[in-house]
Amino acid sequence: MIKVDLKKLNYSIDAQMDAGQPYMADLVSAIRKASPETDVTGKIPEGFWNNVDVRSLNLMVVPEQFGGLAATQSAISRVISFERVGYEDPGYAIALPGPGLTMPPVVAMGNDKLLERVFSRFDSKKPLWGSFAITEPHAGSDATALSTFAEKSGEEYVLNGSKCFITNGARSDYVIVFAQRSHRRGRLGMRAFLVERGTPGYSVIRTEQMLGMKASQLAVLQFDDCRIPEENLIWRDDLPKFSDALSAAQQSWDFMRPMLSSVIIGTCQRMHSELTRLFQQRENAGQVYGDNVMTLLRRYQTKIDGCRLLALQAAWKYDRNIPMSKDASMAKAMSSKLAIEFSEACHHIAGLDGLAGNSYFNKALRDCKAFDILEGTGDIQRNMICAWHTASLIK
C-alpha cells in the first residue's frame, strides 16, 4: 500500500506567480483584504483605490504610443499578471480600471483623433473605466441579433435600446455601444459608438445582484433618444468596404479570452492551494483521506497546468500576430469547464468546510459558475472550435 504524507504535499505556487510588475504586490494584498467584504456587499470598499497604483492599472492595456505601460504591452505578461489577480479574486480581475475590452475595437476601427480622445484620459491617478456593451436581453450568444438601433439625424446619431450584464457599467467613464444601422439586421449593419458618461438619454438602470464575481458591478444600460456627435462612430475612412463592428468585437474577445482563462486558472490554483492547506491541517487526514485527496490534487494540478499552457499558447500567438481565435476559445472553454468541475470536487471532498459562509470554496463555487458564461459561453466556444476545425479540413 502506498504511504501518503499529506504534510509534504505542496503544489502551491503563490510565490512563483509574481508577474514582476511593481504595482502587483500592492494590488494583490489590497484585493486579499477587500475580497471577503466585496463578496458580501457587492461593492469595492471605499478607500480601496488609495492603496494601489491606480495610474499603472489605468494604463495597463492602453497602447504604448498613447502612454500605455511598456511592461504590460505583451499578452504573455498580462496573462501572468491576471492569473495572480484571479488567484485572489476573479471579480476584481474584471473590475480593474482601464479601457479593458474597449481597447481592441477602438484600435481596429477608430481614427487617430478618436484613439487620442479615448486613451489620453487614462493617464490619471483617478480610476477610470471603459465598458464594452454588446449583450442585450434577447441577444447574448447571437450578437448579430442586436435591437439597439443608431439612426442618423443630421450630424448626429440617435441611439435607442438597452444593454445588459455590462462589466463596470455603473462606474465607467465611457461605453462602447454596439448597435445596428440597418433594419435588415445581421453583422454587416453592426457599428460601434463611443458614448460618454453623462450624455443625455444614456442611463444606468440598475446593477445586478450576482451569484459571484461581485466586484464586477454588472449593469443594465438604457439609451433613449441618446444623441451623440457623428465623430463618435468608431470608423476610419480607410477601412475595407464591407467592414463591420462584429469583427472588431471578435478582436476584443481574442484579446481578452487568454487573460480571462488565466484569471480562471488562478482561481483553480487557489482552490488547489486551499484544499491542500485544509487537509494539511486535519489531524487524521493521512489515514482517512490520504490516497483519495492526493490523487485528486495530482489529477487537478495536471489539468490546471494543461489549461495554463493553452492560455500561454494563445497569448504567445497573439503577440506574434498569428491567428489565435481557436486557441483563445480552447483555453477559455477548457479552463471554465475545469473550474466548475474542480469547485464541485472541492465541495464534495471538503464537506462542511466548503459550505460555511466564510469558506473560500463557498465563494469559489459561485464565482466559477459565471466563468462559463462571460465572454461567450462554453457551448459557443465549442461550436466555434468545431467550425474552425471543420474549415481547416476543407481543402
Ligand X SMILES: Cc1cc2nc3c(=O)[nH]c(=O)nc-3n(C[C@H](O)[C@H](O)[C@H](O)COP(=O)(O)OP(=O)(O)OC[C@H]3O[C@@H](n4cnc5c(N)ncnc54)[C@H](O)[C@@H]3O)c2cc1C
**Residues in contact with ligand X by the rule CB under 6 A:** 132-135, 140-141, 165-167, 213, 216, 218, 370, 373-374, 376-377, 379-380, 383
* Residue 349 beta carbon to ligand X: minimum distance, rounded to whole angstroms: 27
**Cell numbers representing residue 115 in the block:** 484613439
Q: How far is the CB of 327 from ligand X (least distance, A)?
A: 20
Query: Which residue, among 270, 334, 360, 306, has the nearest Cα to 17 in the 3D structure?
Result: 270
Q: Helix %, strand %, coil % for the chain, to 5?
A: 55, 15, 30
| Shorter beta-carbon distance to ligand X: residue 143 or 312 | 143
By the 10 Å C-beta count (0-12 exposed, 13-18 middle, 19+ buried), 140 is classed as: middle
Q: Which residue is nearest to ligand X (CB)?
A: 140
Measured CA to CA, the distance from residue 379 to residue 386 in angstroms comes to 11
The residue assigned the cell 484571479 is 86
- Pairwise CA distance, residues 327 & 334, whole Å: 11
Which residue in the block uniquely carries the three cell numbers 460555511? 356
Q: What is the dihedral of CA 122, 160, 145, 97, to 10 degrees?
A: 20
60 versus 213: smaller Cβ distance to ligand X:
213
Cβ proximity to ligand X: between 4 and 210 the closer is 210
Burial class from Cβ neighbours inside 10 Å (0-12, 13-18, 19+) for residue 15 reads exposed
Between CA 368 and CA 266 the distance in angstroms is: 11
Closest CB to ligand X among residues 79, 170: 170
Q: Looking at beta carbons only, is 166 or 364 nearer to ligand X?
A: 166
Q: How far is the CB of 139 from ligand X (least distance, A)?
A: 7
- CB-nearer residue toward ligand X: 21 or 262: 262
Tell me how far, at minimum, the Cβ of 326 lies from ligand X, in Å. 17
Residue 135 C-beta: closest distance to ligand X, Å: 3
- 224 vs 379, which CB is nearer to ligand X? 379
Q: CA-CA distance, 250 to 104, in Å (whole number)?
A: 9
- CB contact set of 75 (below 8 Å; sequence gap of 6+): 255, 258, 259, 314, 315, 316, 318, 319
Task: Kindly tell me which of 339 and 370 has the beta carbon lying closer to ligand X.
Answer: 370
- Nearer CB in complex with ligand X: 170/296: 170
Closest to ligand X by CB, 285 vs 374, is 374
Closest distance to ligand X from the beta carbon of 292 (Å): 32
DSSP assignment, residue 116?
A: H
List of residues 6+ apart from 387 with CB closer than 8 A:
none
- Region of 81 (left: φ > 0; alpha: ψ -120 to 50; beta: rest) is alpha
Residue 7 Cβ vs ligand X, minimum distance, rounded to whole Å? 38
Query: Among all chains, which residue has been given the C-alpha cell 462612430?
Result: 233
For the four alpha carbons of 240, 107, 334 and 218, in that order, the dihedral sign comes to negative
Smallest distance, Å, CB 383 to ligand X? 5
Smallest distance, ligand X to C-beta of residue 382, A: 8
**Nearest approach, Cβ of residue 389 and ligand X (Å):** 16
The four Cα atoms 348, 349, 351, 353 give a dihedral, to 10 degrees, of -120
